[in-house]
Structure formats: structure tokens, C-alpha cells
Structure 1
């Protein structure tokens, strides 16, 4: 540009071809006054950030409540959850299903059929929904090791829980062929009943029936029935 003030001239109109192409239509800004260039990456990055934010929000809505419940379950103090009714598919004479929930480990329930008793079940019902955390199952006719051979012992047991909304969930429990109570996790809430179905047994034979000495259910001590 001319530096002498007397020589400054107002620029004339641009040629038609420069006006048509676009870049030269406006006065070129001074250095330091030029607008920041908006690159294509800026727009793409904004959309990616928005998509990530929405995804994280959705994942939080889905997974935070179960994670909260799992944390409470882990640290909660356990207390017995007493069933209000007990049923079974069938029972051996003198060994009704209530004996599996009587808190005595020298009484037992058996279906009264030989071999593994596959498909036979025992069920606990609750008049109010309960959140179950754990179950203790004592296989056999007692906790004494010298009496384990008197019956077949449940091996694989399917726990089917029914929630208050009518939906169901299952837990596969595998028991060892040893004496004494065995703790297994359930972690299911709002339950109205839970059915334990025998799928296989240890030491099954034609002259033995499967037996369960005790089933103990546990929930949260601060509100297992909620």
C-alpha cells in the first residue's frame, strides 16, 4: 500500500470474475484482525464429543442402579429371610418339605424317588417381596460326614425366582459332595417365591433318594422385605 497519505486511493470495483469466485469479494482484513479459521475437524470433534456425552449418560442410567444395589448387597449385614409357605413336588413319608426350613440339621426333606431325583423341586414362598442375597444348602440327611452315604446328595440345583411383577430369573447352583452347609449367591430382589429344582446328584443309585437337610435364605438386615 502507498505510505504517503496524499497517494492513498479508494480501490475500485473488483472484476466480475473475482466477484463470482468469491474469495476476493470482501476487503482483505488486516493482520491480527482476521477471523479464526474454522476447520472441518472442529465440527466433527464437536459431534463426536456430543455423541460420547449422550452415550455416557445412557450407560449411567442403565448401569448405575444395578451397581448401587450390588454395592449395598456386598456390604449389607445378612439376616434370615423366613418363608411364609413351603411346597414340594413330592415328599418321602415322614420327611415333608418344611423339615428343610426348620433350622435343624438332623432332619431332612426327600422326594421319595430313587436315583438323582432329577426334576423334583422344593419351593419357598413369601407373602411380601424380599431381596435375597445368599442361600445356605446342607446336602444329605445331616451335617455328619459319616452319614453322607445314607442318601444321594444334590449336585446341580436350579434356583428359579419369581418376582412380584411376575417375571422370573434363574441361578445355577453347584454343590460339593461334602458335609455341612454350603453358601451360594443369589442376589435377586423383589422376590415372592424361589424354587430349587434338582438337576443331578452325587452318589445316586437305585436304593437311595436325594436328601436336603436344610435350606437357609438370607437377605439384608436393614430391609430384606421391601
Structure 2
């Protein structure tokens, strides 16, 4: 398969949506019939997983939009005390879909990690307490819980939340990884294997952290990396 990249949707680009099937018809239809119009109207921002060597064939996507939710739905009083208002400022991960051919290769997790990066960057300019998502079914709920999201309660019992502060911690892990990666590849190329033992300790949430660390995508990469730098990730490459 061609190298894959995540990029923000562009009205000026030509994308190939033909044959996209994630297994959920409403998500398929949203991509082909609604994403472009809602992106253009700034109702949301759409991000696409594309195969660049195949005329920008779309193999996955997610959407982000500004939102808020009631503080009362946070599951603990400790979390509630952190927010001095009735509503929690957030970004909603509205839709997330990956082509069936890529299922089981962590691309869904990679898209979530990329969405977290965008949310964190936006939080530098606007107050965002975290990322909010609705789980459409039990499988989606388990997917987000596995990634470390916190389930809300009450009227939002099917929704989950991931604090911006926790995303910042993932950034700290990324910076450590990039510096280690550069040292191993530039100073000791023969030992490029994520450490002497071939592994890297990312803490308890290994899947999300490893995908988060490897989604360095233009124009959201660190200044420490050159524009042409690519990092390997589960299931392919992003540059």
C-alpha cells in the first residue's frame, strides 16, 4: 500500500472518495455528502487519511468542532472542582472512520492521537479543557476507554472525555522519544531499534502513546524536525 498521510481537508484539492467503506453506512455517507460543505461553512474541521500515491485516495477521516458539556456529567468531584463554570469548554471529536481494509492496524488510534495534537495546539490560543466524544455503540465505548478516555455520567452516559492536561503529558513523552530517536539514528544508526532492547516504555497506555508519538504531520510538527522528516508508525508512515 502507498504511504499514508493525515492532512486537513482542502476545497482546492481533489480527493478520491470512491469505494470508501468503514462498515458504518452513516459514516460513509457523511464523508461523501456532508464533510466538504460543513468544513467550508466552518461547522467543523475535517482531517483525512489519504494514500498520496493513489491520487489522494481517502482511507479514513475524523472531524473536530468547538463544543462544551455540562460540568455535572464529570464523574468525580475532584474533576468538577477544576472547572469554575457550569459548562466545560471542549473540542468534540465528532466522527471517526477508517476503511475496512485498514481495520486492526491501529489507524483508528492514530487518527485519535492526531486529533489530540490538534486539540492541544488549539488550546494554546483558546481555553479548551479537553476532548469530548460520543460513543455510538458499545464497541466504540470500549475503544475510547482503552485509550484512556473517562466515561461521563448522567445525560452524557454514552460520552467520554480526555483532559488537555493529559494530552500535554503525551507531548512530553513525544519530545523524549524524538530526542532519543535522533540520537540513535544520527549518532548510532546501527542501534536504531527504539532503545538497546528494541522496546520503549511509554507507560500504561502503550498503544495510544506510541501512535501519538509517531504522528508528526505537517504543518504541526515540532521545529526540531525538518520539513521532510518522517517517523515510522503502526501500519505505515506519516510525514
TM-score computed with the length of structure 2 as normaliser? 0.26
Larger proportion of strand: 1
In our comparison, the structure showing a higher alpha carbon Rg is 1
Q: Greater relative contact order (Cα 8 A, min sep 6): structure 1 or 2? A: 1
Q: Which has the higher helix share?
A: 2
Q: TM-score scaled to structure 1, two decimals? A: 0.27
